[in-house]
């Protein structure tokens, strides 16, 4: 192998390594974005569940058996 062909092989290898690093970085970024979106959805669902669940302080809930008489 001549010196110039060795340099070409090394340059090609460096190019492939850089390309692979870019692909891995892009995949990691997509995974992080997806995980952040899932965490936001979970937080929103938890918040909605907290506000929908009646507590002792919030008064009667939607399953209350209390009946109200209509006044004229």
> Under a CB-based contact definition with an 8 Å cutoff, are residues 14 and 6 in contact?
no
For residue 25, the enclosing domain spans 3-49
pLDDT at site 4: 83
pLDDT at site 13: 95
Residue 31 maps to a domain: yes
> What's the CA gap between 13 and 57, in Å, rounded?
67
Residue 19 maps to a domain: yes
Residue 28 maps to a domain: yes
What is the full per-residue pLDDT of the chain (72 aa) written as tens digits? 677 888 989 999 999 999 999 999 999 999 999 999 999 999 999 999 888 765 555 555 565 666 666 776
> What's the CA gap between 29 and 37, in Å, rounded?
12
Q: What's the total number of domains in the chain?
A: 1
Residue 72 maps to a domain: no
Residue 64 maps to a domain: no
Residue 20 maps to a domain: yes
Residue 29 maps to a domain: yes
pLDDT at site 29: 98
pLDDT at site 71: 74
């Amino acid at each position: 192998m001549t010196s110039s062909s060795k340099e070409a092989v090394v340059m090609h290898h460096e190019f492939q390594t850089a390309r692979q690093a870019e692909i891995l970085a892009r995949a990691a970024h997509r995974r992080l974005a997806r995980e952040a979106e899932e965490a936001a959805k979970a937080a929103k669902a938890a918040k909605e569940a907290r506000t929908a669940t009646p507590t002792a302080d919030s008064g009667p809930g939607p399953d209350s058996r209390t009946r109200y008489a209509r006044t004229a």
